[in-house]
């Protein structure tokens, strides 16, 4: 009760069991409201045409990035499927901890800042990382260090022009400029609706491409092994997350089948619409023509009508 009573006291009062800095570094208790619907990835990413358009855009953005840093961040996001916050907070210690130039440990969602998620680099990424540290980052490093081995474990890999750690807001500022500068589609290409996506969608794109190719593997044992590798690389805490992508593929396939069914109905309706005038003409020819009455008969009918009026 005494600790609770002194919880709001300032540090200089000396009556709190821990400093405010220590308090803020600890996770706080909270409750989370349940979602109305279970999370599922964007179904549009299962379309090969959408994947091709996104890859073309990302290729252009990677080539035209204004700095080696942004080019490297985009490459890591695309190839590893890591989250943006995880990539931007990568440290020299996390890179050395892996003891492999093609791997690095980064923080994971829910790891409370611990570098426990292992990501793997391709040779182009490793070469770009070394080049960035020795050239562009070295010019921004407060001490001018040009080797990863010279950096402290807590030193961030990515720096801003102000020589501070690269953060999400700074990256999004550069992302929006690149995103807006994407070239328009060429003439003759099939027009696609304007794609709207964020850096986080690169994570879902990476998983979707992996799983789409795994679905083409005929060997069931090999396909299952590859799915386990995807699970480890994405470091999903819930093993059922991968099933959400399976449901997205199934939903997309169902929609494609239904779209074909709808087109078939429309073709049948168009065929019936084209045959309607012919059917009406044939029906008119089949009906007997009205008999032609003589003048005497017409006069008799007129007299009957007058009789009806008088009645």
Q: How many CA atoms lie within 13 A of 120 on its CB side?
A: 7
CB 74 within 8 A of CB 82: no
Task: Check residue 23 and give its pLDDT.
Answer: 73
Task: Check residue 300 and give its pLDDT.
Answer: 66
Vertex 9: Cα angle to 4 and 10 (nearest 5)? 145
If one counts every other C-beta atom within 10 angstroms of the C-beta of residue 224, the result is 11
Name the nearest CA neighbour of 88 among 149, 181, 145, 172: 172
Task: Check residue 80 and give its pLDDT.
Answer: 92
CB 215 within 8 A of CB 249: yes
Q: How many CA atoms lie within 13 A of 35 on its CB side?
A: 4
Distant-in-sequence, close-in-space partners of 38: CB < 8 Å, separation ≥ 6: 244
Q: Could you tell me the fold of the domain covering 66-184? A: hpI Integrase; Chain A (1.10.443)
- Tell me how far apart the alpha carbons of residues 118 and 122 are, in angstroms, rounded to a whole number: 14
CA 212 from chain centre, in angstroms, equals 15
- Tell me how far apart the alpha carbons of residues 88 and 166 are, in angstroms, rounded to a whole number: 6
CB 93 within 8 A of CB 156: no
Task: Check residue 269 and give its pLDDT.
Answer: 79
CB 92 within 8 A of CB 153: yes
Task: Check residue 2 and give its pLDDT.
Answer: 74
Task: Check residue 275 and give its pLDDT.
Answer: 65
Q: Which helix (H) or strand (E) holds 116?
A: strand 115-120
For residue 118, list its beta bridge partners: 105
Per-residue pLDDT of the chain (311 residues; tens, 9 = 90+): 777 777 777 777 777 777 776 776 666 665 555 655 666 666 667 777 888 888 888 999 999 999 999 999 999 999 999 999 999 999 999 999 999 999 999 998 877 788 999 999 999 999 999 999 999 999 999 999 999 999 999 999 999 999 999 999 999 999 999 998 888 766 555 555 566 788 888 888 888 888 888 888 889 899 889 988 988 888 887 777 787 777 666 666 666 677 777 888 888 877 777 666 666 666 666 555 555 556 666 666 666 666 555 55
The residue written with tokens 């400029």 in the block is 177
Task: Check residue 93 and give its pLDDT.
Answer: 94
Secondary structure class of 194 (helix, strand, coil): coil
Task: Check residue 39 and give its pLDDT.
Answer: 63
> How many residues does this entry show for the chain?
311
- Tell me how far apart the alpha carbons of residues 217 and 211 are, in angstroms, rounded to a whole number: 10
């Amino acid at each position: 009760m005494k600790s609770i009573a002194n919880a709001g006291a300032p540090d200089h009062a000396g009556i709190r069991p821990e400093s405010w800095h220590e308090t803020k570094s600890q996770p706080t208790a909270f409750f989370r409201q349940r979602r109305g619907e279970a999370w599922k990835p964007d179904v549009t990413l299962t379309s090969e045409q959408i994947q091709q358009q996104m890859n073309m855009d990302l290729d252009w953005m990677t080539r035209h990035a204004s700095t080696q840093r942004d080019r490297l961040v985009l490459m890591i996001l695309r190839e590893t499927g890591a989250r943006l916050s995880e990539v931007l907070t990568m440290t020299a210690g996390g890179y050395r901890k892996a003891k492999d130039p093609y791997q690095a440990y980064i923080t994971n969602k829910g790891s409370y800042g611990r570098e426990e998620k292992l990501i793997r680099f391709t040779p182009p990424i490793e070469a770009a990382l070394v080049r960035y540290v020795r050239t562009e980052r070295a010019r921004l490093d407060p001490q001018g260090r040009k080797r990863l081995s010279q950096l402290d474990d807590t030193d961030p890999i990515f720096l801003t022009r102000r020589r501070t750690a690269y953060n999400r807001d700074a990256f999004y500022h550069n992302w929006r400029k690149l995103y807006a500068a994407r070239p328009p589609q060429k003439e003759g290409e099939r027009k696609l609706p304007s794609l709207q996506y964020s850096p986080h969608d690169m994570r879902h794109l990476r998983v979707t491409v992996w799983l789409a190719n795994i679905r083409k593997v005929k060997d069931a044992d090999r396909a299952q092994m590859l799915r386990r590798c995807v699970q480890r690389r994405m470091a999903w805490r819930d093993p059922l997350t991968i099933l959400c992508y399976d449901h997205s593929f199934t939903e997309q396939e169902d929609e494609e089948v239904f779209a074909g069914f709808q087109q078939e109905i429309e073709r049948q309706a168009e065929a019936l619409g084209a045959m309607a005038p012919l059917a009406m003409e044939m029906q008119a020819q089949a009906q007997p023509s009205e008999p032609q009455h003589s003048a005497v008969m017409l006069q008799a009918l007129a007299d009957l009508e007058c009789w009806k009026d008088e009645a």
